[in-house]
Structure formats: C-alpha cells, structure tokens
Amino acid sequence: MEIDPKALEDIVRTLIRFAKKVEAEMLTQATALQVFADSDPEFDMKKLLETARKNPKIAEVLDKKYGEFEQGVIESIRKRSLDQDVAKILRDWKPSGPVH
C-alpha cells in the first residue's frame, strides 16, 4: 500500500484541528461550570458530573455520531486503500447534532 503523503498530512491536520476545537469547547464549558459552582456553595459539581457520565443518552449520541465514521476508517485500512477512502470519508462526513 502506498500512502499519499499529502493526503496523510491533510488527515493529520484535520484531526489535530478537530481535537483542538473539542478541547477548547470542553475547557470553556468546564470554566463556566466552575464559575457557577464557586458562586453557590451548595452546588455539588462532582455529583452533577457523575450523573451526566452515567446518562446513556451521551453514549447513544456519540455512538450514532462516530460509529459509521469509525467503521469506514477501519474498513479502509483493512482494504489497504487508506489514502483514497479515508480522504473521501473525511470529505463526505457530515456529523449532525450539537457540537460537544
């Protein structure tokens, strides 16, 4: 299998930009939540986060959003046509729902 260096570079850059965007959003929300928690001494942030982590809707939304994408990438790797198929998957992928 020959991997097009430009295609691989594009994939890596896309993944890094996505990771930075997700982390920025998480840090923003964590900061806002901490400000709220600091303003109310009775607010139990640990309990709120524990409840949210156990919410099956979160896993359901993430599985729906990323499941097909993940399968497409895995199938591309197995078929040894990574450079063409993954680039097409990334171009065609249109995640739906709210940004997390």
pLDDT for residue 91: 82
pLDDT over 90 (residue 77): no
Span 62-91, average pLDDT: 78
Instruction: State the CB neighbour count (10 A cutoff) for residue 88.
Output: 13
d(CA 84, CA 7): 8
Reply yes or no on whether the pLDDT at 63 is more than 60: yes
For residue 84, pLDDT beyond 80? no
* Domain residue ranges of the chain, discontinuous segments joined by +: 5-92
Lowest mean pLDDT: which of 23-32, 35-44, 77-86? 77-86
Query: What pLDDT score does 1 carry?
Result: 54
H or E element that contains 98? none
Q: What percent of the chain has pLDDT over 90?
A: 35
pLDDT of residue 82: 60
